[in-house]
Structure 1
C-alpha cells in the first residue's frame, strides 16, 4: 500500500516509516524540517508539511495515490514556533478534510492516553478536539492512544526518565506512584502495520499499552539496572516543590527550548499515563511484551549510558558556557572597565582605540552568551566561540606574551572552555 506518514521525522513517526517500508509498503514521509529529515533517512519519499499553516489545498497534491494516512504530528505545549491549537486541531482538521476529498481509504490518528477533559490541560483539550475532528469525517478512521513508548532511541518523556537515571546516588521523581503500561516501539509498529490492513477495526479508538503495570519509580529503577548504574535511592519530589521547575520549562518553551518538563506534562502525568489495552488486545489478538521483558531483549550499549549521563549534564554545560561569555562581556563594560582599559593600554592600543575595541569585544561576548542561553544555532555559536577564542589567544600572544606565564592563567584557562564548546557542538542534536 501507499502510506503517507505526517510527522515522519518524529520519535514515533520515524519508526513507523522505517517499519512500514521494510514491510514492503511505499512510504511518503511528511515533516516540517524536511531537509534535515531527508539526510537521516534518504531512502524515503519526503515532502514538506507544516500543520501550523497548511490548508486543504496544500495537502491535496501530497495525497495523490495515497491509500493510508497516519498522523503522528503533535506538540506538548505552546511555545516559540509551537501552537497546540494549530497543530492538534486546525492543522489536523485540514489534513482530515483533505483525506476525505482525496478519497483516502484509511486514516490512523496517533493521540495519547489520558486525553480527557478531566485532565485539565490544554494538551488534552486540543487532542480531544483533534480526535473529534477526525470522527466527524466520512472516513475509515481509527484513533490510537499509546502509553509510554520505549525504544532504543528516546525523545521527550522517555529521554527525561533516562536522564534522571544518570544522576548518581539519588534519583528525583515527581511523585513516583504514577502507573504506566509501557509498550515497546517494535510492538507499537507491529500494531500499526496490522491496523492499516483492510478489514482492521475502524471508527473506534484503542489504547495501545503493554501488559505490565509499572510505577514511575519502578520505571526509573528498571532503567538504572538496564543501564548498568545499579540501584538508586528514589527521592519522591513533592508537587509544590517540582512546580517551579515545570513553570521554568514553560518559560524555556517560549524561548524556543523544548523540554518535557512542562506544566501540561505534569497535569497529564498526574491524571492518567496508563491506558487500558483490553479492547485493542481483544480486537486484534496482539501480545505485546512487558517493560522488563523489553529491557531484557534490548541490552543497553555505551551510547545509552552516555545519553543518560549527558541528559542533564549537557544542558547545564551549555548554560555555564553561555553565562561565562555573557558575564565576561558585562563585567568588562562595568566593574572591570578600568582594568580592561589598562590591559588594552599594556597591549599597545592607543587611548582613542581602547573604547571601540572594548565595546566591540564586550558586545561580541554578550551576544554569543545570550544566543547560547537561548539555544539559538548552538553548533554555529560554539564554533564561533572556539574561533573567537583562538583570535583572543593570538592577539594576547602578540601583544602580551607574558600572560602565558601569569599565575592566574588568563590564557591557559580558556582551553577548557574551548573543549566545553567543542563537546556542546558535537552533541547538539535533539532527535
Structure 2
C-alpha cells in the first residue's frame, strides 16, 4: 500500500525528468524498479487482486507525468536514429516512464481473471484519464521501435478494457452527460484502433521498411526483428478487439454488428495491376471496408509460410552449426557482436552463431503464433460480415425515404460513438448498405 501510494508522490519528480536538461536520473531508475516489482507481483492472480484493492491503477490515473508526452524527433523516423550515448532523449525518458505503466495494466488484466470486469474498469479509467496521450499514440506515424512498442502494449490493453459493459464498472458517478462523454472517448479509441489496420495490415510503406536494407549489421538486425514482431502484435491485438466487440454486441447472426463496410476496394486496389502504389489512408472517423480484412488475411497467410520456412532453415542450421560455411558463421556472429568477430576463436564463433539462431528461432515461433491467430480471427470476422451482408442485411435504399434518412442519422451518431449500453440499437447504425453496395460486394468477392 505504501509503495502504491508513493507513485503519486513521485509524479512531480518524474515530470522534472522530461526537461531537455534533466537533473540526476536516479528517480527514474527508482520508479522503474518499483514498477518492475509491482508487475512481478501482478503476474500472480492473488497479487493482481491485492493491487486492484490497493488502487494502483487509480493512482496511475492520477499521475500527470503520463500526459507530458514530448514531441517526436523527426530524425527517429523508421527507428534508424542512433540513441544518445549518455542521457536518453526526452521522448526515450518518457517511454521509460510510460511503458512500465502500460505493462502493469496489461499484466493485471491478464492475471485478474476472477475480477476481470473490475480490472478492466480501472484500466479504462486510466485510459480515459490520459485520453489525449492515448489518442496521440494511436495517431502517431513514427515507426521507431519505441513507438511500435507503445502501440503494441496499448492496443493489447484497449482490446481487453474498452469493451461494452465496462463503463458500468467505473468507480465514478455517471450522469447522462458524462456517460455520453465517456462513450465518446471509447468510440474514438475503437475507431483509431480499426484505423491501425490500414497502416499495419500489410501497407506498402511498412512492408517495404520491414524488408529493406538487408545488409544492416549488429543490433540493427535485432531491431528489425523487434519491429516486425511489434507490427504483427499490433494487428493481432486489433483483430482480437474486433472479435471481442462482435461477440459481445451481436446476439445473433441475423442481428450482427458490422465493424467493416461492405466494400472490398482496399484489397482490389492493393492487389491490382499497380501494387507499388500506396493504399489510401482511411480517416479514423470512417469505418474501414471489409477489403482490409481480406488483404490482411492474404498477407498473413503469405507471412506464415515465409516465417515457417525461415524457422525450419534456422532449426536445421542450429543442428549443424559446425557444417555451415565460414561466411555464414561470420554473418550470424556479427548479428550478436558487430565488431571484432575476426579476433575470436572458432569455438566462440560457434557459440555466438548458436545464440543468434536460437534468438531467430524464438522470434519466428512468436511470429508464427501471431499469424495463426490473425488468420483465424480474420476468417471469423470475414465469415460473420459476409453472412450478414449476403443473407440477412436489408438494403437501406429498399426502405421509404423517411426511414432511410432516420437510419442515416442514427448511423452518423453511432459512428461518432460506439456505446457500451447493450440496450441501444447498434444494428440499425453500423450494418446498413445500399443494394448497390451489396451487389458490388458480390461481384468483387468473385474477383478478390
Q: TM-score, normalised by structure 1?
A: 0.25
Structure showing the higher strand proportion among its residues: 1
Structure showing the higher helix proportion among its residues: 2
- Structure having greater relative contact order (Cα 8 Å, sep ≥ 6): 2
